A and B are shown apart, each in its own frame.
Chain A
């Protein structure tokens, strides 16, 4: 294993009650990277993250995290990984400081008091340190959770939908923090639903129904998928959408406010269909556009659903 690959897992598989939740999953994450982990609900993101940090035992597959064997050395991994759960999992009846102190003690940290002080300061929680965690709003809970999983200065951060239910400003602050950690050499694997967060990542792995469908540097993804897109505006938009649905060359029809984005893998076929629609509805304006992440991921989701039906 190269020293610069922090997560190196192959063929991770997990099933619950005969249903394959994660199916032969491979992932290689280089040191210092921010790796985005995308996929619809129930696609196996959480299960994969839990296998990586030793909370679940894979049925098959193998791999190393920070150089330690995922199957046999999960304790060593746990000592060096910061894992932020999807649901707030600190103690609501303990204060912010007590929570951090508890976690710091579990990791057997030296200079515990100073570390807790610094964590409180870094995250702007100094004034609220004696507040009971249960009384905090979503954004503050998320800050606290991040502080708790950073207190032992892990080399790898595993964040499971960390910004779900958090307002845009708090999300932005949160990502600034992640970027700062990344600059210090911390590797991050973060699962998300938000496209604006996905584009913040250096690389993206897309998973659906337990299978990895895409794994590439974020900048390369539009090229890889190579989706042709058109934007339609005007009236009557609903009729135009009805005509496009299921027409030749159309892989995806998505409404974006007062416009329709229609995309397909075959540019020529799609163009013909779009022109046909314009002919039938002369008040509709058409325009070629580049495929954005939103379109790409809606397309991927639709694709994977087809695969499984």
Chain B
């Protein structure tokens, strides 16, 4: 019996970590990850599916929205306006009717998202310079959808009337336009655009996969009974933590590449800022999420509990991080919760870098706050990890 042999490969002390043991756990996790094909496939397919689904569902400037035109007057000017509307890709004219009640019913029933109303005597009053009104009513139940198209209608009107305002009507071509566009919508959504949402989706996707995968890192060992064996070996908690989370950095990196490619080629999002700053931020963010998941796995007793706790993290990550609602519009306590979640800081960083062309100095505050969260999470996880089965 060689009593000294177990110590043979120990490397110099750094918190008494044996990197050989870290590597052992890392290698084991890698093999297990490879064997678990369905989970592996989900990790790769998830970013693509979410991006395409949410990217298009949430972001794309809505086009081809159904509109009903309530036409109370039929003349050369109004016909030109109608023709322009039909030519536009923002709205699809589904009906033209002179009856107000029929048009209202279509808007109410949802068969039309817009009601464009041209009043009686429109042309006459326009020629007189009385600036008659065109009423545009938008279905307020879908404010985001309406937002883009509403702006478009103004320019459609301008372009429609311009060719008609020739000759004796030329005087009317001056600003202000010889008519008034009255827009009725109950609230104006914050300017949510594809450019705003897609980079943020990277944060949501990374949070979901990284936290979910590592949240079962330890509970799986406990549930399968392998924890007892692991604890009976000389492996240290910090070695288990590093070894178990490291393989998923690779998964996170693959997801980042996928999201960036989809964002560039499918959504044509320009990457304006510093790429090194982005790399540092995204790496830090992946680490923080892995630690968050790992902390959950030290708290949960079963994989089921871990999943439930993971969703407990997801909701504030989406609702309180500034992903869905403007961060500054939230009450103070909600902002405080938001500040303590990694994704809040990452969203600011990624939006600033990708859209506003920021570099290291612009994102420094959020970067060190992210690092602080990472350290706190790792410390909590290590405190929770028991070396015994107690």
Contact = CB atoms under 8 A, between A and B. Distances in A.
A265 to B, nearest CB: 39
A188 to B, nearest CB: 14
Contact of A94 (B31, B232, B388): B31
B233 A107 contact: yes
Most A C-beta atoms less than 10 A away, residue of B6, B23, B235, B387:
B6
Contacts of B174: none
Contact of B35 (A53, A79, A93, A155): A93
Nearest to A105: B24
Interface string B218-242: 0000001111110111110000000
Nearest to A55: B389
| Main SS class of interface, B | helix
B6 A102 contact: no
A89 interface: yes
A55 B28 contact: no
Contact of B24 (A75, A93, A102, A186): A102
Given A55-B388, A106-B21, A152 B232 contact: no
Contacts of B232: 53-55, 78, 81, 83, 85
Contact of A110 (B5, B36, B388): B5
B31 A98 contact: yes
A92 to B, nearest CB: 7
A171 interface: no
A236 interface: no
B94 interface: no
B21 A108 contact: yes
B9 interface: yes
B24 A106 contact: yes
A213 interface: no
A298 interface: no
Interface string B1-38: 11101111110000000101101110110011001100
A94 B24 CA distance: 13
Contacts of B27: 102, 105
B225 A85 contact: yes
Most A C-beta atoms less than 10 A away, residue of B226, B234, B387:
B234
Contacts of A53: 232
B142 interface: no
A153 B8 CA distance: 14
A106 B5 contact: no
A253 B62 CA distance: 87
A55 B20 CA distance: 22
Contacts of A79: 6-7, 234
B1 A57 contact: no
B234 A93 contact: no
A28 B123 CA distance: 109
Given A105-B20, A108-B8, A108-B9, A74 B387 contact: yes
A123 B269 CA distance: 60
Given A55-B388, A56-B389, A78-B233, A89 B24 contact: no
11 contacts: A81-B232, A83-B229, A85-B225, A88-B225, A94-B31, A98-B31, A106-B24, A106-B25, A108-B10, A110-B5, A184-B1
Interface of B: 1-3, 5-10, 18, 20-21, 23-25, 27-28, 31-32, 35-36, 224-229, 231-235, 387-390
Given A56-B388, A103-B233, A155-B3, 6 more contacts: A85-B225, A91-B28, A93-B31, A102-B24, A106-B25, A155-B1
